[in-house]
Structures are given as structure tokens and as C-alpha cells.
Amino acid sequence: MKQLLLLTTLFVISLSACTKEGRILRKEDKLIGSWVFEKVFYKRHSALFRDNITNDYQDDIVEFFADYGATYYDYSLNSVFDGTWTLFVENNIYDGENDLDFSVDAVFYDFVNNEDFFLFGGIDRLNRNKLHFESEDRSGKYTFKLRRL
């Protein structure tokens, strides 16, 4: 009886790990934690080269919590900003391959200037130690490379 229960449990877990919801939960688990900015680049749409703007984010820390809360520690201001985060997923059919594209959207409230600021973009790489994502504005594209603390 115990073996049947164990086999049933393993089957259900392995089946849910392959589903869209299972993949989202695994990505969320990898995202939860503290991240420091390693490199940040900005490339204007018409520019040939990208600008290294890492100094603007030097020693800043983003922390994602399991309850979808977040904090942003701005080293230059010596301030912590509270916020929330969401992980989005889209089906992407490319060359006949059906894959999922993940993006993160974090909103923080700046009590100093009384306005919100955002970190958002499509996730290029997310594992236990690295988070890379890209974000665009009207003038160009940001590339963020973060490392887990």
C-alpha cells in the first residue's frame, strides 16, 4: 500500500513538473532571493554601441519574496523601497517549436519623490546564481545582469 501511494505521488509530481504551471513555479522559486546588479547596459535604437551604466546601479540590491513582495535597496541613497513583483509567461511559437517566454515586472514605491519606479523585462537567463533580463523604453534597450547574493 505504501508503495502504491509513493508511486502515485511521484507520478503526480512528475506530471505537474512538465506543465506550464509547474514551469512557472520553478522559475518563481529560482527568482526568490536577493540579487545585486553586476552589469547594466543601455543601447539607444540608433546607436552602434551600448553604454555601460553599471555605476548608476552600483551595489543596489533587489530582493524578491515568496509572497510576491519585493524590496529595492538603493546604495547611493541608502534607502530601501518596498514593492511587488509578478512573473508573466507567454507561449512563443518559433520555427515550429512551442516554448514559453518569461518576463518579470517589479514595481517599487519611491517615498522620497512620491512616485513609482519599475524593473521589468523579458528574462533571458535565470538559474540559481544569475538573472539576465532586457527591457525597452522609447529610446532604446536596457540589459540587466544580476548575481545572487
Looking at residue 95, its pLDDT comes to: 56
Residue 102's beta-bridge partner residues?
89
pTM for this one? 0.81
Instruction: Enumerate domains of the chain plus CATH numbers.
Output: 2-148 (2.40.128.280)
Alpha carbon dihedral 32, 65, 74, 118, in 10-degree steps, equals 90
- Residue spans of the chain under pLDDT 70: 1-18, 93-98
Looking at residue 109, its pLDDT comes to: 95
In the DSSP assignment, the letter for residue 48 is S
Looking at residue 94, its pLDDT comes to: 64
Half-sphere exposure of 29 (CA within 13 A, CB side): 7
